[in-house]
A and B are shown apart, each in its own frame.
Chain A
Amino acid sequence: MADTKIVTGGPECVDQVLDFFRVDERLPHILCPGCGIGTAMNAVVRAFIEMGLNRDELCVVSGIGCSSRISGYLDCDTFHTLHGRALPAATGVKLARPNMKVVVFGGDGDMLAIGGNHYIHSARRNVDVTVFVLNNFTYGMTGGQYSPTTPTHEKAPTAPFGNVERDFDPCFVARATGAMFVARSTTFHVAHLQKMARLALSKCGFSVVEVISQCPTLYGRHQGLGDATKMLQWIKERSVDASKVANPWEVTDKFVIGVLHDREEVPPMSQLYADVRRSAQGRAGE
């Protein structure tokens, strides 16, 4: 992680970051004290700045949920869509305006439960978007119900006797369904997260960064994990760098962080469709 270029520190950089937010209109945000979503948003914005993305060609798309509120705070074209539907909407934007950089934020419920089918098919299609899955293991906005990433046996308001379902790994699903790039980071490892964001955003095609995040208000309270500080401690202790494990896909009791999958790029859907258009138009002229 030593090579991570950190943009924090100088007042200039803070100004740049602040400038990226709709400061006057939208802040303060609606997130709970100690929530990890602001940290994740901040790290991704720093990656945007680091990469020098043109904000007038950037579209941030989200669904519904705590994480999906991110779109409303960023000063670029932003698209707060329906619950679970960020990816189809992002697909429409990307295909209609292929020159735009399209970035998607979603939570574990939004992206993996109600939006699970779209997640799979967007990866398969190789839509040229970067997805940040903010995984806090719970439906925060509706009060802490269990989600597709809540571990078996854990209690939640809709699983008062313990969750009988199995959780799944968004990174594994993304890799299995065709993503070009898959990484995991956490809200504790902010510099690392910024680096993973930059790598994902630089990749052509469908890329995913899972961000393990803390929800002290609901998940932390229900699981007895304590406040935000204690939860960050918990995240830190459970995290292990991908380089330190033999097979990251076999580790179940840790958060394996780092680049988990980085395959040779194949042309994304928008590019293949541009070829289709060219050949169809050529044929029409014959």
Chain B
Amino acid sequence: MTRLLSGNEACAIGAIRGGVRFFAGYPITPSTEIAEYLARELPRAGGTFVQMEDEIASICCMNGATAAGVKAMTATSGPGFSLMQEGIGYSIMAELPCVVVNVMRGGPATGTPTRTSQGDVLQARHGTHGDHPIVAVCPWSVRECFDLTIEAVNFSERLRIPVIVLMDEIVGHMREAVDLPEQVSIWTPSRPKVPPTEYYHYDDANNYDARIASFGEGYRIHLTGLTHRKDGFPTDEPEIIKWNMDRLRRKIDDNRSWLWDLDYEDLGAETVLVCYGSAARSAMEAKRQYEEQTGRRVGILRLRMIWPFPMERMIALLRSARRVVVPEMNQGQLRRTVERCVSRDVPVVSVQRYDGEMLTPEEVIEVL
């Protein structure tokens, strides 16, 4: 059945279809429709919606629900995303899966609540303190808001880490006619096979695709944000600190290949556009118009997942590019990372727009 949906609605529907049964959030433009949809639909699905006193409380409440064995999500925008960073750090350290949707608006501070931006790309990677793994997906259409939210739930459950869904005001508020699939595949961690006395919550074998216990299952687990041993209890022994940090890093390192998610076309062309999110829509239209006008091909490479950045894959795919153009609705946050994928003699041109308006195809064509 074809339905007319906004990106925010598609994200919320995806969350429920993906198995999310708990949402804790705080109202913030332009993400609020996600909360409103889930406030109505989660109780119908047997789940729980709670509006907390701020975004810090929201993410901590969500962590509590996850620890009790429920798939959980929150949705916010820039200022709320900043407040959630400490809770994201806790999810990483305590290895509590969760999905954090950030419908990006202009920043810093209160910025421009009703306008669009892609200004939180680097914050999604490095927002919380300390070295840490993170996954961030970036939908460009209403259908992808649905698909990538489900994937985000699955990735977070498999890797036991928070996954960021980086939407932006345009993708969140845009309406498109979409067909949603009847069947979606969802991943749920298995329960431990061993008795509580032999169970280690942070066993090496439990790093990802784990068999884990939750609160209330008789395993008497201990969760902490302190660096811990495999039994969950804090330690400051250098050897174990390193083991723990390496273990967290391996969540991504061991799984890069199946995590990476990008789309591309015409990579044999001299100029290649590297893009993501709603700016990729302008890039795609710029490619079409430019090719029609000049008869020359332009390559396009769109990242559906920004973090982990698919460095090795990009190096291979951009091998024949002579010029790379990176259109973004920020001051060039991903350009430098893209630069590392090509040799020094290949110019990487940044197309930036950060006045709250959508990047236009014309602005991209100008530099092609």
Binds B, one of A55-63, A134-142, A166-174: A55-63
Q: Give the complex CA separation of A76 and B220 in angstroms.
A: 5
A100 to B222, CA, bound (A): 16
The prevalent SS among residues of A at the interface is: helix
Say yes or no: B64 contacts A93, CB within 8 Å.
yes
Q: Does B44 contact A (CB under 8 A)?
A: yes
Partner of B225, one of A82, A94, A284: A82
Cβ 8 A contact of B222, one of A64, A72, A85, A277: A72
Contact B44 A284 (CB under 8 A): yes
Closest to A64 in B: B225
Interface size on A, residues (CB 8 A): 43
A21-67 residues at the B interface, CB under 8 angstroms: 25-26, 55-57, 59, 61, 64
Pair B54/A117 contact, Cβ less than 8 Å: yes
A80 within 8 A of B: yes
A249 on the interface (CB 8 Å rule)? no
A residues near B22, Cβ cutoff 8 Å: 92, 95-96
> Could you tell me if B220 and A96 are in contact, using CB atoms closer than 8 angstroms?
no
How many A-B pairs with Cβ below 8 Å? 143
* Contact, CB under 8 Å: B57 / A93: no
Closest residue of chain B to A60 (Cβ to Cβ) is: B222
Instruction: Summarize B's interface: helix, strand, loop or mixed.
Output: mixed
CA distance A181 to B12 in the complex (A): 38
Minimum CB–CB distance for B204 against chain A, Å? 19
Closest chain A residue, CB of each to CB of B40: A280
CB–CB A85/B57 < 8 A? yes
Quick check: B220 and A118 within 8 Å, CB to CB? no
Interface residues on B, range: 35 or more
CA A26 to CA B69, docked complex, whole Å = 25
Closest to B215 in A: A77
- Alpha-carbon separation in the docked complex, A96 to B233 (Å): 24
Q: Which residues from chain A contact B215 at a C-beta distance below 8 Å?
A: 59, 77, 79, 93, 97, 100
Mask, B198-222, CB within 8 Å of A = 1, is: 0000000000000000011111111
Residues of B within 8 A of A243 (CB): none
Shortest Cβ distance from residue B21 to the other chain A in the assembled complex, whole angstroms: 8
Once the chains bind, are A277 and B46 in contact (CB under 8 Å)? Answer: yes
Inter-chain CA distance A43–B56, complex, in Å, is: 32
* Segment 61-92 of A: residues with Cβ below 8 Å from B: 61, 64, 71-72, 75-82, 85, 87-92
- Determine the distance from Cα of A78 to Cα of B51 in the docked complex, in whole angstroms: 24
* A77 B221 Cβ-Cβ under 8 A: yes
Q: A277-B46, A284-B44 are in contact. Are A99 and B216 (CB under 8 A)?
A: yes
- Residue numbers of A with Cβ under 8 A of B are 25-26, 55-57, 59, 61, 64, 71-72, 75-82, 85, 87-97, 99-100, 117-118, 120-121, 273, 276-277, 280-281, 283-284
